[in-house]
A = this chain, B = another copy of it.
Amino acid sequence: MEDLETRELRYFVAVAEELHFGRAAVRLGIAQPPLSRAIGRLERRLGVRLLDRNRRGVALTDAGRVLLREARAALDAVAAAARRTRRAGDPKRPLVLASKAGASHELLQRLLDALASEPGAAPVEVLLCEVGEQARLLRDGRADVALMHRPFDDLAGFDTEDLCVEGQVAILPAGHPLASRDQLTLADVRDVPDLPIARWPRLDGSYPDGPGPEVHTQSQLAQLVALGRTLLVIPASSRAWQWPEHVAVPVVDAPNVTTVIAWPPSSHSPAVASLVRSAARLRDTAPPSPAGPRTTRLRTAIAQKD
């Protein structure tokens, strides 16, 4: 019943992701036989079958799926331990704040300004990342704190503080008929035949079925909109998407999006606590649009550049 080693977990994750011992071994930089042995020993020690080795390839069992999820979390925790310890030893470590590239730009700007003007605040390093990447950065210790968006991002396992609430806009190619409307509903933008919703890859890299184009970066998507191939519904403050060729139209019945500041619950760092306090103070004293209370709806119709 002695507990698992991280090496075994890494090996299992590699095999479970590749579903192929040979490729997994290459990825791990070892030969295939030791990998087979390690997985076999893991199954023996856990007393559970993790993989179905059928004809031509490998499939995960139910227990294997559980271990894949748990092992990823455990490996993240181990990596976070190493990273946070290294950074704790660095006397003038900056705090790392992760934010989705292009999202909540004004909020981030004001937050950084406020921190810069505060005398005792620790320096902050900003890490701009792709959609959904913040959670992993927080979990494995590469970031100390992150700006995330409810209900889009998975906030499970983090402590959070709401910062602001805003509506959503549809981003359309400028020439499209819908672009001339001054407001839309979800029904209007759902199933527009010539503007199918784009598809993002799943964790395993595969794409869901559907008519829309396949994308994996924000720039791709923004360009596809400009080309008149798809449309988006995003929070009003997202800036990276909005090209001159785009038109933003408020979607009145889309669910509101809350920008939150999130941090790992294990964090007892005073620097993180003080950053969160600064962010909350910012929210309470300087609402982004005048006359708004804490939950200001910033539905400012985005000015079309020129």
Contacts and interface: CB of A to CB of B under 8 A. Distances in A.
A84 B50 CA distance: 12
Copies held by the complex: 2
Given A4-B82, A5-B5, A89 B47 contact: yes
Nearest to A156: B265
Contact of A69 (B48, B89, B306): B306
A69 B264 CA distance: 12
Residue picked from A50, A74, A84, A306, most chain B C-beta under 10 Å: A74
Interface stretch (A60-68, A165-173, A251-259): A60-68
A70 B48 contact: no
Given A5-B7, A48-B88, A81 B67 contact: yes
Interface in A271-304: 303
Contacts of A5: 5-7
A265 B139 CA distance: 13
Interface string A1-44: 00111110110000000000000000000000000000000000
A159 interface: yes
Contacts of A265: 156-157
Prevailing SS type, chain A contact patch = helix
Interface string A67-88: 1011101110111111011101
A266 interface: yes
Contacts of A82: 3-4, 46
Residue picked from A6, A80, A265, A268, most chain B C-beta under 10 Å: A6
B159 A156 contact: yes
A66 B79 contact: no
Contacts of A66: 84-85, 88
A49 interface: yes
B77 A73 contact: yes
A266 B5 CA distance: 20
B81 A71 contact: yes
Contact of A6 (B6, B49, B157): B6
A234 to B, nearest CB: 22
Interface string A131-163: 000000000010000000000000011010000
A85 B4 CA distance: 12
